[in-house]
Structure 1
């Protein structure tokens, strides 16, 4: 996977989601399930602390995360 600085600079939420997802995959977690758990509950323990992922995700409002995920999905259908 190639990292695109331009896309992340345009949309920092997308970049944070990408970094957090990669950290969760590296630790053996399913990013979809973990992100859903975090967005629904607000419990940061759904997100690994590996590579500072928990701090990164906590820097973004959960509504912004949901908006980015839904927007990306709708653009692809």
Structure 2
């Protein structure tokens, strides 16, 4: 028996690296809007609970939003808000 005793390396492409939090939020927002939901309420529900049931499968929105950690989504929202509104306070 010729057994290969070397450790083999298995690489999995991480799709979450390709996903931009801002783009995902916009895509999910539009999917929720098209389905007749209040997008803000649904996204907040997801961010607070972590329950993907707040996001529909429509246009693959649920899969997309789950590729990014919730803290990264919140960070994007805070950064965007401060960028937009921070200039007004100067």
Residue 39 in structure 1 maps to residue 47 in structure 2:
yes
4+ runs deviating over 6 angstroms: none
Residue 58 in structure 1 maps to residue 63 in structure 2:
no
Larger-gyration structure (1/2)? 2
Residue 30 in structure 1 maps to residue 38 in structure 2:
yes
CA offsets 1:26-65 (integer angstroms, 9 cap, x no match): 0001111001100000000000110000000000000000
With the length of structure 2 as denominator, give the TM-score of the two structures.
0.72
With the length of structure 1 as denominator, give the TM-score of the two structures.
0.84
Tell me, in whole angstroms, the C-alpha distance in 2 between the residues paired with 1:16 and 1:43. Answer: 17
SS of residue in 1 equivalent to 2:37: coil
User: Is there any run of 5+ residues in structure 2 with no aligned partner, and where?
Assistant: 1-18, 86-90
User: Is there any run of 5+ residues in structure 1 with no aligned partner, and where?
Assistant: 1-10
Q: Considering fraction of residues, name the structure with more helix.
A: 1
Q: Alignment length, in residue pairs?
A: 67
